[in-house]
Amino acid sequence: MNRNHLLLGLVLLIGTVITPGCGKGYRQIVIVDGQKAEVLTSLEGGAPPARQEIWAVGRIILFRTDSTIPTPAGSVTGAAGRVYRVGAGMKLEDLGGFDPKLSNSVLLARYGQ
């Protein structure tokens, strides 16, 4: 495993521990740009639970660039400008395309749960 994969794995692991996930009263997506994964949360309806898994069924992940990212079961590759949902078996389901130039706030409003 190269250094970039280790770094991204660490970011995702930290995000799993300290970053909330999908739930009632807020919206959340993950945006992958190269070796960086960023979790975005909108707290419109209140604070999310203290701990949620990044790799949870139903999670929305957007790839700004072609990237391979680690998962609990290995790794997955996403294509630039594609929106995915984590489906059964923790596999990515392709939901369609998006403009990678859109701002994070626009993407959160459009794809947040």
Domain chopping of the chain, boundaries: 3-111
**111, 39 Cβ separation under 8 angstroms:** no
For residue 16, the model assigns a pLDDT of 44
56, pLDDT greater than 50: yes
For residue 65, the model assigns a pLDDT of 94
SS3 at position 32 = strand
- What's the CA gap between 82 and 66, in Å, rounded? 9
Higher local confidence (pLDDT), 18 or 38: 38
Q: 106 pLDDT band (50/70/90 cuts)? A: very high
- What's the CA gap between 60 and 83, in Å, rounded? 7
Average pLDDT over all residues of the chain: 76
SS3 at position 111 = helix
Note the pTM of the prediction, 2 decimals.
Answer: 0.70
Q: 47 pLDDT band (50/70/90 cuts)? A: low
For residue 74, the model assigns a pLDDT of 83
Question: At a CB cut-off of 8 Å and minimum separation 6, what does 73 contact?
Answer: 90
